[in-house]
Chains A and B, each alone.
Chain A
Amino acid sequence: MTTPRDSGGTWGPIALGLATLVGVLAVIEAMIRIGWINAFIVPLPSAVLLSFERIIVEEGVLKRFLFTAAEALSAGTLVALVGISLGVLLYRRQILRLACENWIAALAAAPLVLLYPLFLVIFGRNAVTIVMIGFLSGLPPAILKTVEGLSGTRRTLIDVGRSFNLSPSQQFRKILFPAALPTIFVGLRLGLMFALINIVGVEFLINFGGLGQFVNELAERYDLPAMYAAIFFVILVSVGFFLLTERIERWLGRAR
């Protein structure tokens, strides 16, 4: 978190970072022009920059972005609904939690995205497969963090609820859930991020859908400048997403 005290000193390093980035790109540009780097392997940074207009105007990258965003949103909604519900279930039934929590943590470590051929067989080569893979890979962190958040509720808060004679459902809605929300959101954010990564990955692998397919298509067409521009676009999307969720998380954290 930036405090007013050190925010004055952050612009220098940021400028340094940007200057280095521009400098590196300029050096690469020069090395390609001299012929030290093969232009058939690494396109000119200036050509990449110029092809941005092309991928936006001619190739409809924004439409593809919306497609991927819609997939991520669907997967994210599923992750939130199912993940939080399962988390609450595990919190309520401690025996289930003891039995399953380690399994779920192990699942989080397994390369779930490798299930995509199986999902192709079940759902076909369409958006459902992509959304389901995204949903599945985002599920473990959402469940685990929901359980963690609920069980981390401060004893005093629970006792306050008790002293007001809240019913179990009121207790949950007014005390437990709000207290756990920041932690739950950490889980949702992780889950969404995993979902987005896997969605773009599967799009790339099965050559279907939004941005992932776009990168794959440009690679197959050997349109290098546009491919680099498209990759840069995917990075921009991840960055935007990262910053947005970070902002929300901070806001929730402060609300606590």
Chain B
Amino acid sequence: MSTGGRFGITRVVRVRIAIVVVVLAVWEAVAMSGWLFRDVVPRLEKIGRALLTLLAKPDLYGNLGTTAYEVGLSLVVGGIAGVAVGLLMGGNRTLGKAFEPYLHYLGPTPKIIFFPIMIMWFGVGGGSKIAMGAISCFFPMAISTAVGMREIDAVLVRVGKSFRAGVGQMVTKIYLPAMRPAMLTGLRLGLGVAIIGVLLAETKLSNRGLGYMVIQSYTRFDIAEMYALLIVVFLVAIAANALVSRLGALKRGSS
């Protein structure tokens, strides 16, 4: 950001604080005015208390663990499959031209509609949620890997060949390091859609996980708890995303 110096950090921070204060004040005013149903826009204090109660519940951490486990496993399954397919498409022109269009077509399809199929294949338990996450993150991973592989600088490959590197050495010393930025982009996108896939599957049919908790608080019409849960979910998702982005920046810095 080139214009950062013009305003200085403190002014940006001040504007940010002002925005937050204004939003909270408007919220509180709406909550007190009764323009909307009071339950839809509860007082900030009520949401704050619900958040504290929620954070004190062991229940939350159990469900958070379930969701994290499902997302993690779906990333492993979908990620490995995506990288494998991406390497094949990126490494071979004919295969790429033959099958990559299908990746691009299926990529933007709403994956949740596959959920009934996944229930039939993997059951109503965690398996179908992991499968949802896995097919969600498969596509960004595969597409990014294929693109990353194709964009490797030909000079690097020639350097490797002139050093008579074996296949294993070529993969670990040339291909993977050169593709790291593209693959991290894929991982970041994949993580985002895997989280969405798992959470939505949990809201549709489940008895565990954060998605299930959200939909439970909706059926109980406990709106304050629902807000608290959504805040937790959003913060966790944003933190996970930031962690992966940081990982990318860190690795690029050290190499």
Contact flag A17-B113 (CB < 8 Å), given A106-B238, A113-B200, A118-B226: no
Closest Cβ–Cβ distance, residue A123 to chain B (whole Å): 10
Closest to B188 in A: A109
CB < 8 Å neighbour of A99 from B16, B102, B226: B16
Residues of B contacting A122 with CB < 8 Å?
36, 40
B195-221 contacts to A, CB under 8 A, are 195-196, 199-200, 203-204, 211, 214-215, 217-218, 221
Contact yes or no, B110 A99, CB < 8 A: no
Q: At the interface, yes or no: A110 with Cβ under 8 Å from chain B?
A: yes
- How long is the Cα–Cα vector from A237 to B84 in the complex, in angstroms? 28
Q: At the interface, yes or no: A100 with Cβ under 8 Å from chain B?
A: yes
Contact flag A114-B113 (CB < 8 Å), given A100-B19, A109-B192: no
- How long is the Cα–Cα vector from A115 to B211 in the complex, in angstroms? 11
A227-243 contacts to B, CB under 8 A, are 227-228, 231, 234-235, 238-239, 241-242
Residues of A contacting B218 with CB < 8 Å?
117-118, 120-121
Residues of A contacting B192 with CB < 8 Å?
109, 111
A176-218 contacts to B, CB under 8 A, are 193, 196-198, 200-201, 204-205, 211-212, 215-216
Contact yes or no, B97 A111, CB < 8 A: no
> Which segment of B2-10, B45-53, B159-167, B176-184 sits at the interface?
B2-10
Q: At the interface, yes or no: B168 with Cβ under 8 Å from chain A?
A: no
Q: At the interface, yes or no: B80 with Cβ under 8 Å from chain A?
A: no
Residues of A contacting B99 with CB < 8 Å?
17, 20
Q: At the interface, yes or no: B253 with Cβ under 8 Å from chain A?
A: no
Q: At the interface, yes or no: B35 with Cβ under 8 Å from chain A?
A: no
Q: At the interface, yes or no: B69 with Cβ under 8 Å from chain A?
A: no
Interface residues of B, dominant DSSP: helix
Contact yes or no, A205 B112, CB < 8 A: yes
Residues of B contacting A238 with CB < 8 Å?
105, 108-110
A-B contact count (CB 8 A): 144
Proximity string of chain A (79-107) to chain B, C-beta cutoff 8 Å, 1 when within and 0 when not: 00000000000000011101110000010
Closest to A15 in B: B98
- How long is the Cα–Cα vector from A157 to B90 in the complex, in angstroms? 38
Q: At the interface, yes or no: A12 with Cβ under 8 Å from chain B?
A: yes
- How long is the Cα–Cα vector from A10 to B113 in the complex, in angstroms? 32
Q: At the interface, yes or no: A1 with Cβ under 8 Å from chain B?
A: no
CB < 8 Å neighbour of B113 from A106, A113, A120, A212: A212
CB < 8 Å neighbour of B237 from A13, A110, A117: A110
Closest Cβ–Cβ distance, residue A127 to chain B (whole Å): 17
Q: At the interface, yes or no: B154 with Cβ under 8 Å from chain A?
A: no
Q: At the interface, yes or no: B94 with Cβ under 8 Å from chain A?
A: yes
Contact flag A95-B15 (CB < 8 Å), given A13-B94, A16-B94: yes
Closest Cβ–Cβ distance, residue A20 to chain B (whole Å): 7
Q: At the interface, yes or no: A14 with Cβ under 8 Å from chain B?
A: yes
Most buried by B among A21, A94, A98, A198: A98
Closest Cβ–Cβ distance, residue A116 to chain B (whole Å): 8
Contact yes or no, A117 B199, CB < 8 A: no
Closest to B3 in A: A94
Proximity string of chain A (239-251) to chain B, C-beta cutoff 8 Å, 1 when within and 0 when not: 1011000000000
Which residues of B are interface residues toward A (Cβ below 8 A)?
1, 3-4, 6-7, 11-12, 15-16, 19, 36, 39-40, 94-99, 101-102, 104-106, 108-110, 112-117, 120-121, 192, 195-196, 199-200, 203-204, 211, 214-215, 217-218, 221, 223, 226-227, 230, 233-234, 237-238, 241-242
| 28 pairs, CB–CB < 8 Å, chain A vs chain B | A12-B94, A13-B96, A17-B99, A17-B102, A21-B102, A94-B3, A111-B233, A113-B196, A114-B199, A114-B211, A114-B233, A115-B230, A118-B223, A118-B226, A121-B39, A121-B218, A122-B36, A197-B108, A201-B113, A201-B200, A204-B113, A204-B204, A205-B200, A211-B113, A215-B113, A227-B116, A234-B110, A235-B109
Instruction: Give 20 A-B pairs besides A98-B15, A193-B108 with Cβ atoms closer than 8 angstroms.
Output: A13-B95, A14-B97, A14-B98, A16-B98, A20-B99, A94-B3, A98-B1, A98-B3, A106-B238, A109-B241, A110-B237, A113-B196, A114-B230, A118-B230, A197-B109, A200-B112, A204-B204, A227-B117, A238-B110, A239-B105
